[in-house]
Chains A and B, each alone.
Chain A
Amino acid sequence: MSVFDGLRFRKVYSPIHNLDPRIKFVYVISIFVVAILFYQIIPLLFLFFLQIPFVLLARVQRQWLRSLRGASFLAGFIFIVNVATTYFTSGYTLLAPNVENAAAMTLRFVVLVESFSVFFLTTSPDHLGLALEESRVPYEFAFAFTTAVRFVPVLAEEAQTIMDAQKARGLELEKGGLLKRIRNYVPVLIPLIVSAIRRSLELAEAMESRAWGATKKRTNLYLLKLRRGDYALLAITVGILVVAIYVRLFVPIPTITQLL
């Protein structure tokens, strides 16, 4: 569950937490786009380090590191697959540029994970819902989305209880080969899905009995307002985008192998 840990919001206050979620989202998407624009290791490294001040400012470094650790397995997988495919296609030789290329692809993935992790770690589900609503997403969808996010930790806890209950009946999750191991999770997944469905039906009934959707036009108690910090982040985001596009178009980027 460590990957989820890196996406779980905790209530703390910091300059980053107070930013408008819409602007933060624009920032994350921009980082995403820039990461896709480049395939060389140097700009991607630059992007990687660019996030660290945000993480430190938001004081979420521990959870952030945990999410990176959670992603490390997939990152390793991406690296190996990239190296392996170039190894087989380039006539069974391990070339330095190929390895570097594989490292860059892995780094790209890590950058994506880290920026999304910063976003989810510093944005409360309520803020997120508000942002969706104010971006003209229908309330039903915004509500469904925030509820889903909110129920992730609840489900994670429930999964733990179910695993305990099945272990108490002699189930050994870590036993057997890969296929057997996947099959071991059936006794955990079925109760989890059944209880999630049951829970959602109960939630729907409880909400309807409290007159959910009674008024067509909803107003909000809190409204999102852009403040100075938000404009600053927006300026930074636009700056990053402009510089990145300029560099991508007009500046030749050396690879590390060329530099050596």
Chain B
Amino acid sequence: MIVAEDIHFFYPNKVEALKGVSLTIKEGEFIAIMGQNGAGKSTLVKHFNGLLKPTLGTVRVNGVETTKTSVATLARDVGFVFQNPDHQLFSETVEDEIAFALKNFGFEPEVIEKRVTWALNLLALTQYRKTSPFLLSGGERKRVALASVLAWDPQTLILDEPTIGQDHEQKEKLRQFIMQMQIQKKTVVIVTHDVEFVAECNLRVVLMKEGKIVADGLGKDILTDPALLELSSIVLPQIAQIFAKLSTLGLPKDIIDIYEAKEIILKAQESGLRK
């Protein structure tokens, strides 16, 4: 459980990136933080594992204030996967890369071996075990970065722009993977611009603008509110756009799920045929 209470954050150049943000993320929640560039999304999530400490206010991770502990301690519970995998890959083999964090946390060699095998398997990387991470493609490198965090099985997972540069198939795999983590009652926080991805996942959405939270609620409600999204320079998901245009026919507006959309359209067609 992560609780942020009225946090303000100033960068050394005196820019106030967060202007009083309060947010509670419960255990097992799946939440997307959205907003335009410079809204403070990355700054906010960097508070969740102590990389940044609030200038004012408090952040508590499982009841422990982040200012009173180290990043290494917090990282044990809060895994953070950075946007660009090239900012972390440095080992000679994929295997070593994944073992890096495990060694830092002081796991036993046998446990490390087991965890590495498990993580490689989970992200379909087993064939690259002895390959240099620098020889892999962009999407594969991103998966190595993800595997290197998942290996220590943190309770909370923060993903910064996980869908950038991923093809549709990889995105779908990622979505299924997050769903799988949901079943295991893990907390997942994603920072993203990818409105279609968020629409497909049906989760809690926190909308940010200029260092403040402007909306917090179900994706279904927030991603179908044109006024709210325009405020944050986000375009409606395509399905919501269609239903916004069709609302004159008496169809509901708050639809972002493909299957729900299909049902409604089929029903409308049927009743239309009857007339």
Q: Chain A interface (Cβ within 8 Å of chain B)?
A: 158, 161-162, 164-172, 186-187, 190-191, 194-195, 198
Contacts and interface: CB of A to CB of B under 8 A. Distances in A.
B87 A170 contact: no
B175 interface: no
Contacts of A171: 72, 100, 104
A187 B49 contact: no
B195 to A, nearest CB: 25
Contacts of B44: none
Contacts of A161: 82, 84, 87
A191 B144 CA distance: 14
B90 A170 contact: no
A164 B46 contact: yes
A24 to B, nearest CB: 26
Given A171-B72, A195-B87, A165 B82 contact: yes
> Mostly helix, strand, loop or mixed at chain A's interface?
helix
B89 interface: yes
Interface string B79-98: 11010101111100000000
Nearest to A169: B101
B70 A168 contact: no
B222 interface: no
B51 A168 contact: yes
A165 B85 CA distance: 9
A165 B75 CA distance: 11
| Top 5 A-B pairs, shortest CB-CB distance | A170-B104, A190-B90, A169-B101, A168-B80, A165-B88
Contacts of A162: 87-88
A134 B46 CA distance: 47
B90 A167 contact: no
Nearest to A175: B72
B70 A172 contact: yes
Interface in B46-93: 46, 49, 51, 70-72, 75-76, 79-80, 82, 84, 86-90
A191 B89 contact: yes
Given A161-B87, A186-B90, A198-B86, A168 B49 contact: yes
B105 A170 contact: yes
Given A191-B89, A191-B90, A167 B75 contact: yes
Contacts of B87: 158, 161-162, 165, 191, 195
Nearest to B89: A191
A167 B86 contact: no
A169 B88 contact: yes
Nearest to B76: A170
